[in-house]
Amino acid sequence: MNNHVSVLEIDAKAVKHNLNFFKQKLQPNTKILVVVKAFGYGSDAVDIAKIVENEVDYFAVAYANEGITLRKAGIKKPILVLHPQLPNIESLIDHRLEPNLYNFKILDAFLALADKKVTMNYPIHISFNTGLNRLGFWHTDIGNILSEIKKSNNVKIASLFSHLAASEDPEEEEFTVNQINNFAYIVKEIYEHLDYDPIVHILNTSGIINYEEAQFDMVRLGIGLYGFGNDDAITAQLQNTHNLKSIISQINLINPGETVGYNRAFVAKEVTKSATIPIGHADGISRKLGNENGFVIINGQKAPIIGNVCMDMLMVDVTKIDCKEGDEVIIFNHQKLIEYMAYKTETIPYEIITAISQRIKRFVKQ
Ligand SMILES: *Cc1c(COP(=O)(O)O)cnc(C)c1O
């Protein structure tokens, strides 16, 4: 492919491996929904969806426009929109996207629209707040939800779901089990009032790992598909999906006392060979990695980032590395490198991979 710019290589084999790893944890009848929000966790939602479409039951995105992108690319599987907004509920219907209806404002608006625009059984999803306190109805809303939905023949509840607040944290097990039990109670109450059974789901990646007994009818796989479990032992069994690479644009020899980059932050103590790499903080490489906090890999060796990370570039010390302009630079190609970047920038791998800018070309390695 184009070897003259920074690129993000999406490893299709790794994605499939990770999907199979989680599928093996499921009961034979448990469905699987794959979360491809935020550009497939910073990769490419369409590429990811195409890689796994034949092996999954559902997709989820956060916002309507993300779902529209998938439909325009020819993705046919059902798509749950986790956080639809009032101004674009009409576009959901136009693209056969299935809304999560999380409060009465959006439920009522959608029901009114469905009366005008659709004929029968348009799939909707109802979410319940069981402790995350983000989106979702409360258990005390059940009666009103059912009476509103029963007034309309145009919609049908495709699923009931909730979201765990701390599924990765063993210290919060009691809280999590409570969330699961309260959700099961909500589901039971709704089932008693419907003559059909919506799909039920609560587990995200860490939930799948830690709460096998709570799979219900479906699980929602996000970060796990992209190579991260909730501890080293699981992550070691997953494969890295995001390989961020660049090249050396220019090499400079810096004399003692001379400086590199903005604010003259790096001062050479001895003759230093620096390499300029075309990727910067506008591409998701945090300024916190500057001044030797982070490194890249060139010809198998670590090259520390020197001085401040610029918007479009960064400079690294290659004094001890045999390299030339045009050589490949690896920003990360393993979960451990992503975890190290996250540690150094006081965040989590989710934020590192979703921050990779849209300026960086994506391609799929089959
Ligand atoms: C993002 C998201 C997920 C996926 O979570 P992971 O921890 O990445 O597996 C699942 N469900 C909801 C509601 C989400 O917002």
Both 314 and 336 in a single domain?
A: yes
CATH number of the domain bearing residue 183: 3.20.20.10
Q: Does the pLDDT value for residue 117 go beyond 90?
A: no
User: Quick one: pLDDT band at residue 240, thresholds 50, 70, 90?
Assistant: very high
Has residue 1 been placed in a domain? no
Both 61 and 190 in a single domain?
A: yes
Q: Does the pLDDT value for residue 2 go beyond 50?
A: no
CATH number of the domain bearing residue 331: 2.40.37.10
Percent of the chain with pLDDT over 90: 96
The yes-or-no answer on residue 25 being catalytic is no
Both 349 and 265 in a single domain?
A: yes
Where is the domain boundary, 237, 256, 277? 237
Ligand 1 pocket test, pick from 79, 98, 163 with the greatest ligand atom count within 8 Å of Cβ, gives 163
Within the chain, residue ranges assigned H as helices are 12-23, 37-42, 45-52, 64-72, 89-94, 104-117, 142-150, 173-191, 205-210, 232-237, 335-344, 349-354
Q: Does the pLDDT value for residue 4 go beyond 90?
A: no
Has residue 92 been placed in a domain? yes
Q: What is the mean pLDDT of residues 16-39?
A: 98
Has residue 120 been placed in a domain? yes
pLDDT digits (tens, 9 = 90+) for 275-309: 999 999 999 999 999 999 999 999 999 999 999 99
Both 58 and 161 in a single domain?
A: yes
Q: Does the pLDDT value for residue 232 go beyond 70?
A: yes
Has residue 223 been placed in a domain? yes
Q: What's the domain count of the chain?
A: 2
Q: Does the pLDDT value for residue 204 go beyond 60?
A: yes
223 touches ligand 1 (CB under 6 Å): yes
Contact 179, 131 (CB under 8 A): yes
Backbone angles phi, psi at 112, to 5 degrees: -65, -40
| Ligand 1 atom closest to 221 (CA) | 9
Backbone angles phi, psi at 82, to 5 degrees: -70, -30
Where is the domain boundary, 199, 221, 237? 237
The yes-or-no answer on residue 37 being catalytic is yes
Q: What is the mean pLDDT of residues 218-228?
A: 98
Let me know the angle formed at the C-alpha of 131 by 92 and 230, rounded to the nearest 5 degrees: 85
User: Quick one: pLDDT band at residue 83, thresholds 50, 70, 90?
Assistant: very high
CA distances (Å), 247 to each of 3, 268, 297, 333, in order? 8, 23, 11, 14
The mean of the pLDDT values for the chain is: 96
CB within 8 Å of 303: residues ≥ 6 apart: 275, 295, 296, 297, 316, 317, 318, 321, 329
CB within 8 Å of 149: residues ≥ 6 apart: 107, 111, 124, 155, 157
Has residue 5 been placed in a domain? no
Tell me the pairing of strands 98-101 and 79-81. Answer: parallel
Has residue 221 been placed in a domain? yes
Domain that holds residue 85: 12-237
Q: Does the pLDDT value for residue 152 go beyond 90?
A: no
